[in-house]
Amino acid sequence: MLKTIFDDSPIPAFVIGRDHTIRYWNKALEKLSGIAAKDAIGTKDQWKSFYREERPVMADLIVDELHRKIPFWYPGKYNKSKLIEDAYEATDFFPALGDGGKWLRFTASALKNKAGNVIGAVETLEDVTDRKLAEDALRRSEETYRKLSVTDALTGLYNSRYFYEQLKSEIERAERYHHPLSLLLLDIDNFKDFNDTYGHIEGDEVLVRLGEVILTSLRKPDSAYRYGGEEFTVILPETTGNAATTLAERIREEFKREVFCPLGCDKAVYKTISVGVAQYISKEELRIFLKRADSNMYHAKRQGKDRVFFGNK
């Protein structure tokens, strides 16, 4: 009766003895693995259904009572069963299984005699490939949505809403570790005149190109944002005002070399930016820090544009 129940179970499963020899291999597992019970029973080839090279499956570890070895073979993929004593469960990808591999959720538990001695182990398996693929697709969709929600559609930089979140976070980090933090605020000079002369499509090209210049100038921890209209901002963690000024000058010079050829114009057009630099002062409110960067940018405008101004007052 037990053999009939085991064979007819819709859950793929096998049983091994104390010597690791396969004792049972049900029909559901035949279908999942592609290996007939007659070819599996009596052998120690349980690994062949799941791996390309010989290695212990979870049932083998349970039989040998090598629970401490489970983390080695299934790092970060297993849990101790909450329902069955001396049982472990895991989810893993098996590239050797089927065409293109499969994701399996599996549970292995010890079989004991009346004296409590381990005499074998049973392992059950479930094909969760479709569920895993659906979860991965959902996660990618959520990541894409999140990225779109914090990204400026035109330039590909982060948007102003995300800027405030990140600036707040970086200020908290600067306070906690007493590390420097600087901010750039960039504005395209005479951008309204350019738009009025050549149109918004050509104006958008200027915005996109500035975004590209900024991105190619940044280090890994830095982040750039389209602040609004023709204004951009850059958060520079671990950066003093003097170092930020050097970076701002590099961005200004690189952008100044960009060549624009608007439709209807018979000669190349060059654009410039004015940049305000501010270094965070301990205990300073976010709005005051941002206001100083904004004031420094307008000071650069008043000095004649196409320049960088760093002031920390």
**Residue 197: how many other CB atoms lie within 10 Å:** 14
DSSP string, 137-184: HHHHHHHHHHHHHTB-TTT-SB-HHHHHHHHHHHHHHHHHHT--EEEE
**SS3 category, 36:** coil
Whether 172 is catalytic is no
Which of 30, 230, 249, 285 is an active site residue?
A: 230
Q: Chain-centre distance of CA 187, in angstroms?
A: 31
Residue closest to 279 by CA, chosen among 288, 270, 271: 288
Q: How far apart, in whole angstroms, are the C-alpha atoms of residue 51 and residue 104?
A: 12
Pairing of the two strands 87-94 and 308-310: unpaired
Neighbours of 11 (CB within 10 A): 13
| Contacts (Cβ under 8 Å, ≥6 apart) of 58 | 70, 73, 74, 78, 88, 90, 106, 108, 123
**∠ CA 202-144-205 to the nearest 5 degrees?**
5
- Decide if 279 contacts 180 (C-beta within 8 A): yes
In our burial notation (b when 16+ CB lie closer than 10 A, e otherwise), range 205-216 reads: bbbebbbbbbbe
User: What are 86's two structure tokens?
Assistant: 């001396």
Query: Are the CB atoms for 215 and 157 separated by under 8 Å?
Result: yes
- The amino acid at residue 303 is Q
Residue type, 306: D
Catalytic positions are: 230
